[in-house]
Amino acid sequence: MSRKRDKRKTDGTHPEEIIGQVSTQDLGVTGFEVVEEGIRSLVVVLWERGYNTVCSCAGHIGGLEPLPWITILVNEADPWSLLRLNQAVGRFNLSQGENGMLPETAVTWVLSPQITQGGLAVYLRPQSLNERRDRKEILRLREIGEKLAKFIQLHCRDLFPLC
């Protein structure tokens, strides 16, 4: 599993990954290139809306955590930001079904509380009844993450009044 430490540079625009004691700047990797492609669009959408991600993973076969996920620090200056994000994720989940009912094959995204070295955070990840964790399933979960990113972009004004 590749854990990503998404940290803003001093100009506040790009994350930087730390690999051991070597930063991605030292490796010549800049901007959002440090975030794995399978989760990048969702990380970028969250950053554009003021959420500070501290690590992410696109999911890997054979890893400890095969699912895609993102850890987001809680913004103590704007505690309502998590409620807005939770509403966005909830509306996305509901949009996957018909008449308010999700099919059994539906993948929902969930926010779970988490404590990190940086403080209180939430863990954004997909939840699926499908226990299969092969390449095909991981790619499907990544694709649904892309749909969540697009959903947040399309419904930005409704869900995030300040964007």
Q: How many CA atoms lie within 13 A of 73 on its CB side?
A: 17
Owning domain of residue 146 = 7-156
Q: Which of 144, 160, 138 is nearest to 86 (CA)?
A: 160
pLDDT tens digits along 123-152: 999 988 777 778 888 899 999 999 999 999
34 in Cβ contact with 6 (< 8 Å): yes
Residue 1 lies in a domain: no
Residue 2 lies in a domain: no
Cα–Cα distance measured from residue 11 to residue 142, given in angstroms and rounded to the nearest whole number: 29
Residue 145 lies in a domain: yes
Q: What is the pTM of this model?
A: 0.74
Residue 162 lies in a domain: no
pLDDT tens digits along 63-96: 667 889 999 988 888 878 888 899 899 989 988 8
Q: How many CA atoms lie within 13 A of 55 on its CB side?
A: 15
